[in-house]
Each structure stands twice: as structure tokens, then as C-alpha cells.
Structure 1
Amino acid sequence: MTTRTARADQQPGTPPRRGRPRKGASTLTRDVVIETAISVIDEEGVEGVSMRTVARRLGVDAKSLYNYVDGKDHLLDAVAEHILVTVALPEPTGSLDADLRAIGRTFRAATLAHPRAGALVLTRQLSSAAGLRPVATVLSVLRAAGCGPEEAVHLLRTLLASVVGTLLREVSAGPTFGVVGPEATARRQHDLEASGLPVLVEVAPHLARFSHDEEFEYALDLVVTAVTRKVGEGGPTAPQAPPA
């Protein structure tokens, strides 16, 4: 007859736990908490994240997480920062056009690695070194191209408005007007052609169809072309005030 030896953390008279052992607080680290939150987001979306849901996955009391983050809002900031840290920003080549395109594509790839966390990465205003690193990289590229500090900030914001807006549509919203997939596209095209509006009939094959890759590349090309042209022209360092 065999006897069971009680585990060190098991109280006398308490039935043994079944299934996966609960992880003790000693196994927790800030990275473990953040990575667990990312796994919750990947499966359930940002709305599925709470201190309780993350703690439940780790097998600990939710209060123990406060040793690593100050609460849900801080945890979501930490998730965004963690993803940004993984962005392998390209080394500058000295070509403004090539560098801005490479940064935009790298940023998109990092966002799509965790698409359900994309809105966090794209919209949370972070003040840590990790959160500011992509901003500093773009500003450095613009300054190296000859932009003054104020002009570089205006151009940075224009770039971000285009890239972030396009990526938010990709990860958080449906395609604008068009649809994805041949069958859905055919139905959409038929509806547009039956609208009775001449301009919609004319553009129906193009408006019905949507490709995230093509739309991102088009938006990136448009804004980078505008920025490089602006820099090449040596435009004013600040927008002109409207006439009184």
C-alpha cells in the first residue's frame, strides 16, 4: 500500500489540488504578467483583460499583480510598451524616402503580430523610453534630412496620422466601402452597379474590392511622397496662419 506525501504548501486535512498546480508568487515577474495579459488579448480582445482574468491564468490572487503593475490601465500601457520593445526598427540608410517606408512597414508588422492589441499600440500615449523610441527614430531621420525641429514635429504628426489611421482601420474596423474575398466582392460590386449613381457604377469594380496590403502601401506611398517633396522644397517650418 502506498502513501502520499503531503506537499509542503498543502495544509493538513486539505484535499490535494487536481489539474495544473497553482503557480506561487515566486514564479511571477513583470514580464510574465505582461505576456499573460497579451495572451488574454490575443484570445479575447482588450475587453477581456482585467487584473482578475490575468491572475486567474497565472493561478495567483489578483492582489499579487499589484507588485508589478498599478492596475488595469497601467497593465495596458505595459502591454503596448512590451510590443513596441519588440519592434526591430531598421537602421537608417540616409535616404529619407527609403527610411520612412521601412519604418512604416516595420511598425505595421509589429502591430499585426498581435492585431487585437493593435489599438493599444497605436493609440496609447506612452512616456517611457520604449514608447518614445519609434517617435525618436522618425524624428532623427527627418532631422538628418535637414528638417528643423518644429518642421520635423509637424511632419512626424502627419506621418503618424496616416499610418496609424490606416492600421487602426485594419485591426479595429471593417474595410472602407469595399469587402474582402471574391464572393463578397462580387456581391458588393453588383449592389454598387445597381445603385443608379453613375460615379459608383463607374468605380464599382475598384470600390467593391479591398486589400489591406494594397491600401497600406498606397497610404504609405502617398504620405512619404508628400513628406519627401516637402522636405526637398525646404518648406516653412510652421503652417502659415490664416488671414485675419
Structure 2
Amino acid sequence: MTEPRRGRPRTPLLSRESIVAATLQVIDVEGVGAVGMRSVARALGVDAKSLYNHVDGKDGLLDAVAEQLLGGLVLPEPTGDARRDLHAIADAFRSRALTHPAAAPLVLTRQLSSLEGLAPVDAVLAVLLAAGASAQESVHLLRMLLATLIGTLLREVSAAPAFGGDERARREALQASGLSAVVRTAPYIAEFDRAAEFEYTVDLAITAVLDRIERQRSGPRSS
């Protein structure tokens, strides 16, 4: 019987996909701040230098993760109902961003030059143009919607309830603050329903956008 050859263990086959998967593993366990060529190389069991054949340093790792997460975004088919379509795009974006909550800030804040970053932009612009907004106005409205969506999602993945603890403890702390407006609204400030906050914020933003489009289509009213 032939004995197996002895020698150095084989180096795992590297690819951009395997590197992204290892980077996500590091992020899920230790957070974005732990990402680096060495930490990802350790997760893969390879020398850090070998990663440079596939990514350009730490920024390359973070961009690759953001691109993969955005690339997995499944955009809904348009229905022709602007409110429903904008809400569906926002829901799809949220669902994808929260696939890896610790990595969500990468999807939400990194400036990507790849087509992955343009797909949701194109989907929103198409809805706005179909609703009657001009090209220039569509871009302004897009930026407002993105700022609102990104802001509420960043708060969802990063923020903690005021004063911590359970809802009852938060409410009691707020009511004892001595600040009249805070005391009056304490039961509601103490609530911390991420999904409900997202729904409220997105619905309000979409309502503002559609109202503005309708006013501009109607033109100035005669006195």
C-alpha cells in the first residue's frame, strides 16, 4: 500500500468569493473594525500576502463585501403604483442590509463605483419619473429618500434605546428627568420597535415625495 506523500499542507483555493465569505465571518463575529488582511487571512488559513492577488488591501475587502451584499438585492417588479413600488424597494433594501447586521453600515455608507450600487438608484428613479417628476426633480427626491432610508437603517443597526434596560425602566427614568416635554412623551420615547420606526419613517418620506410631485404637476394655483 502506498503511503500518502508527506509535506506542507495544501493551501486552500482562494477566490474573491471565498475571501468575501471570510470577511463576512470576521464582521459577524468581531465587527467591521476587526477586518484587515491578517484577520481575513487567519480565517482562511492562508498567508495575508496571498489575498492581494484578489483584493487591494482593507478597503478592497470592505468594498467587496458591500458589493456582494448589494449584488444580492432582489428588486421587486414594478406595479405602477408609486407608493407601493417605493415602499417595496425600501423593504427589499432593508431586508438585504440586515442579512448581516454588523456589515450593514458598509452597504449604507460606502461609495461604490460598481453597477451593484446603481441598481436600487435606477429602480427608485424609474418610479419617480413614471410618477411624473422631472429628471432634475427625480434626482433631488432620490437623494432625500436615500438619506432618509440610510439614516433610519443606520439607527436601526447601531442605536440602543435611551437609558438602556427594559421599556418600563426606560419610561421611569425618562419620567424622572424633570424635562416637561420628555416627561409628557416618556411612554413613547421608551418604546423601541425598530420595524415600526422604519415603517413610519419610510411611509412619511414617500408621502412627502408623492405630495411634492403632485403639487408640481398641478402647477401654481391661481389666487
Partner of 1:217: 199
Q: CA deviation at 1:201?
A: 2.2
Paired residue for 1:23? 11
Q: CA 1:125/1:235 → structure 2, altered by over 3 Å: closer, same or farther?
A: farther
- Say whether residues 1:140 and 2:126 are aligned partners: yes
Query: Which residue pairs with 2:68 in the alignment?
Result: 82
Asked if 1 retains the 8 angstrom alpha-carbon contact of 2:163 and 2:173, the reply is no
Instruction: Give the partner amino acid of 2:207.
Output: T
Q: Does 1:197 align with 2:197?
A: no
Distance of 1:3 and 1:29 partners within structure 2: 33
Shift of 1:71: 1.1
Contact 1:96–1:145 (Cα < 8 Å) also in 2: yes
Cα distance in 1, alignment partners of residues 10 and 156 from structure 2:
38
1:102 pairs with 2:88: yes
- Residue 6 of structure 1 deviates from its aligned partner by 2.4
**2: CA distance, partners of 1:222 / 1:78:** 33
Deviations 1:119-139 (A, max 9, x none): 000000111011211111111
Counterpart Cα distance in 2 of 1:109 and 1:127: 22
1:155 to partner: Cα distance: 0.3
How far does residue 67 in structure 1 lie from its aligned partner after superposition?
1.1
Q: 1:162 touches 1:219 (CA, 8 Å); kept in 2?
A: yes
Partner AA of 1:67 in structure 2:
N
Counterpart of 2:141 in structure 1 is: 155
Deviations 1:173-223 (A, max 9, x none): 224x375xxx62111111222223332222111111111011101101110
Kept in 1, the 8 Å contact 2:132–2:217? The answer is no
Unaligned runs of 5+ in 2: 219-223
Q: Give the structure 2 partner of residue 5 of structure 1.
A: 4
Contact 1:193 1:201 in 2 (8 A): yes
Q: Taking every aligned residue pair, what percent have the same amino acid on both sides? A: 53
Q: Does 1:233 align with 2:215?
A: yes
Q: How far 1:44 moved relative to its partner?
A: 0.9
